[in-house]
Amino acid sequence: MSAARGSTETPLMRLGKRRGADGVPFLAPEEVEAGERLARDWMRGQLMPSVTQSWSGMPAGGTGGAGAGADIGDFALECRTRVARALDAAGPELAGVLVDICCFERGLEDVERARQWPRRSAKLLLKAGLSVLARHYGLVHESGGAGGATRAWRKS
């Protein structure tokens, strides 16, 4: 499910399904997973802009005791910390496009117009950013090259 609008398909999901002329998916599964993880943490960290007051931090009537709302706040804070670390790992060059497409669910063309980028450039920068995120999250991935596939080391 979409983090921002509650829709069933996001721009990231559509890109994840897209294949090149050679039949190879444009985004590797771990890149899609990295983008979805960022979006989940963004949503759970309550980072979406809102024009109304949020009552999510208020304890529900009769449930929990003193400090029941603190658990929600702590969880949101943990998610925000994970988002900050992930975007720091991506760096300032890639963080913006990751947030625009994965979190705000803006389309590639919309991002390119807003940033005055050449056509098809957002797609390439998104792929680079998702690759960095996948590495940051410790997701194992393979990348094909002239010398064959190489595996990224994974922290244990």
What tens digit of pLDDT does each residue of 30-63 get?
A: 999 999 999 999 999 888 775 666 555 555 544 4
| Number of independent structural domains in the chain | 1
User: Which pLDDT does position 76 carry in this prediction?
Assistant: 87
The DSSP annotation for the chain comes to --TTT--S--HHHHHHH-B-TTS-BSS-HHHHHHHHHHHHHHHHTT-S--SS---TTSPPTTSS-TTHHHHHHHHHHHHHHHHHHHHHHH-HHHHHHHIIIIIS---HHHHHHHHTPPTTHHHHHHHHHHHHHHHHTT---EE--TT--EEPP---
Residue 88: burial class (beta carbons within 10 Å; 0-12, 13-18, 19+): exposed
In a domain, 156, yes or no: no
Q: Is 56 a domain residue?
A: no
Residue 132 covered by a domain? yes
Question: Is residue 36 in some structural domain?
Answer: yes
How do residues 106-155 score in pLDDT, each as one tens digit? Answer: 999 999 999 999 999 999 999 999 999 999 999 954 554 343 444 455 55
With a pLDDT cut of 70, the percent of the chain lying above it is 70
- Domain hosting 141: range is 11-49+71-151
In a domain, 19, yes or no: yes
Residue 86 belongs to some domain of the structure: yes
Digit-coded pLDDT (tens) for 69-83:
455 688 889 999 999
The predicted pLDDT at position 8 comes to 73
Q: Is residue 57 part of a domain?
A: no
Question: Smallest Cα–Cα separation from 132: which of 152, 105, 106?
Answer: 152
2 within a domain of the structure (yes/no):
no
Mean pLDDT within 83-110 = 95
